[in-house]
Chains A and B, each alone.
Chain A
């Protein structure tokens, strides 16, 4: 199984009300809040440490035999920049939080806290959706984790 480093597009960031602290474990307490600054049209988006998938992609994951993932809810909002870019509004899909919970033998896994890796099988499924703005690189490109 070949693994790839997947870096989805950054269409927003942590939204208002997200209880986040890098110095705490867990970093996020409670539900994830994501504020879109724009929507590129991709079915998977991220902000450092967190990933969202569209409802269509979530359904496809549920129907697949891919391993190493879980879904959770996410509170979605849009920013003032979003209103600037889309004064007439922009229809977006319903979003789910994607949690990479797999080990290295699964199709979806995490290296460190922030590096999403997917198998070639998972990538095949993702490519049936829009991932135009995502970066897909070999895992050998992943920089070494900092030593503390």
Chain B
């Protein structure tokens, strides 16, 4: 119930509004709770249905139906009271308002991930919205474990051979406060693999020097950069070092 309430409150603050929040919260919460059953159903729908109908006592079926109701209803109540939670949720909502579609995509991907027990790195494919060579861009990560995100998106890369670097560096969160969300910076669009075999320390040091010079120029003007300014700098650095990355950026 608590999950449904919280999720409903969050979603109500997105452009989905109350109705969308009610529907989405119910589906997501129910799916998280029933992930094992869903996994079985995905593997063999006929057998799973037959097993449920033949082995589940009527009392359990009634309990399942009641559970579904109790999941959907608190989601709706939470959606209605989302405004009261606004101060505490402000940072999360800042990003959710801008990426509602991606947020739902990531939530769905997370449910699929959980449904398949989460320990199979190949179970869910992370697809970047940008292609190598495109200007730097950000997506929305489903987890702060960015190495797992990179590994899922690049199953052919031996993770012991690369350092995973953030194109827009993580310290942009403190250097340029309020400009980015942590989940954006951990998105696959922002991750670059640098092979350890090419003396990654030297290249990473050179990249940090470029970012530090950028921070110095921004500081000179005592201005807050725009997201576009920062992404433009990330693109410039991709141009300089992208030929070294795995996968290649340039």
Contact A14/B223 with A37-B208, A81-B163 known, Cβ cut-off 8 Å: no
Q: Which residue of B lies closest to A145 (CB)?
A: B220
Contact A47/B164 with A14-B175, A23-B224 known, Cβ cut-off 8 Å: no
Q: CB distance A10 to B205 under 8 Å?
A: yes
Q: CB distance B222 to A22 under 8 Å?
A: yes
Q: CB distance B209 to A10 under 8 Å?
A: yes
In the assembled complex, A105 has its CB within 8 A of some CB on chain B: no
Q: Which residues of A contact B219 (CB under 8 A)?
A: 22, 27, 48-49, 113-114
Q: Which residues of B contact A48 (CB under 8 A)?
A: 175, 212-213, 215-216, 219
Give the complex CA separation of A32 and B142 in angstroms.
30
Q: CB distance A9 to B211 under 8 Å?
A: no
Find residues 8-47 in chain A having any chain B CB closer than 8 Å to their own CB: 9-18, 20-23, 27, 33, 35, 37-38, 40, 46-47
Find residues 95-148 in chain A having any chain B CB closer than 8 Å to their own CB: 112-114, 133, 145-146, 148
Q: CB distance A33 to B174 under 8 Å?
A: yes
Q: Which residues of B contact A11 (CB under 8 A)?
A: 205, 208
Chain B, 220-233, contact with A by CB distance < 8 Å: what is the 0/1 string? 11111000000000
In the assembled complex, B170 has its CB within 8 A of some CB on chain A: yes
Q: Which of A23, A79, A113 contacts B220 (CB 8 A)?
A: A113
Q: CB distance A23 to B174 under 8 Å?
A: no
Please give the distance in Å from A101's CB to the nearest CB on chain B.
18
Please give the distance in Å from A145's CB to the nearest CB on chain B.
7
Chain B, 160-179, contact with A by CB distance < 8 Å: what is the 0/1 string? 00111100011101110100
Q: CB distance B171 to A112 under 8 Å?
A: no
How many residues does chain A have at the interface if contact means C-beta atoms less than 8 Å apart? 36
Contact A80/B146 with A13-B169, A13-B175 known, Cβ cut-off 8 Å: yes
Find residues 73-88 in chain B having any chain A CB closer than 8 Å to their own CB: none
Q: CB distance A9 to B215 under 8 Å?
A: no
Q: CB distance A38 to B174 under 8 Å?
A: no
Q: CB distance B201 to A146 under 8 Å?
A: no
Give the complex CA separation of A124 and B175 in angstroms.
33
Q: Which residues of B contact A14 (CB under 8 A)?
A: 171, 174-175
Q: Which residues of B contact A16 (CB under 8 A)?
A: 173-174
Q: Which residue of B lies closest to A25 (CB)?
A: B222
Q: Which residues of A contact B200 (CB under 8 A)?
A: 85
Q: CB distance B174 to A81 under 8 Å?
A: no
Q: Which residue of A lies closest to B224 (CB)?
A: A23
In the assembled complex, A84 has its CB within 8 A of some CB on chain B: yes
Q: Which residues of A contact B205 (CB under 8 A)?
A: 9-11, 38, 40, 133
Q: Which of A12, A23, A46, A81 contacts B165 (CB 8 A)?
A: A81
Q: Which of A15, A17, A22 has the most CB of B within 10 A?
A: A22
Q: Which residues of B contact A80 (CB under 8 A)?
A: 146-147, 164
In the assembled complex, B107 has its CB within 8 A of some CB on chain A: no
In the assembled complex, B47 has its CB within 8 A of some CB on chain A: no
Q: Which residue of A lies closest to B210 (CB)?
A: A10
Chain A, 69-109, contact with B by CB distance < 8 Å: what is the 0/1 string? 00000000001110011000000000000000000000000
Q: CB distance A20 to B146 under 8 Å?
A: no
In the assembled complex, B63 has its CB within 8 A of some CB on chain A: no
Q: Which residue of B lies closest to A133 (CB)?
A: B205
Which residues of A are in contact with B by a Cβ distance under 8 Å? 9-18, 20-23, 27, 33, 35, 37-38, 40, 46-49, 79-81, 84-85, 112-114, 133, 145-146, 148
Given contacts A16-B173, A22-B223, 10 further A-B contacts (CB under 8 A): A9-B205, A11-B205, A13-B215, A20-B175, A23-B224, A48-B213, A48-B216, A84-B147, A84-B162, A114-B216
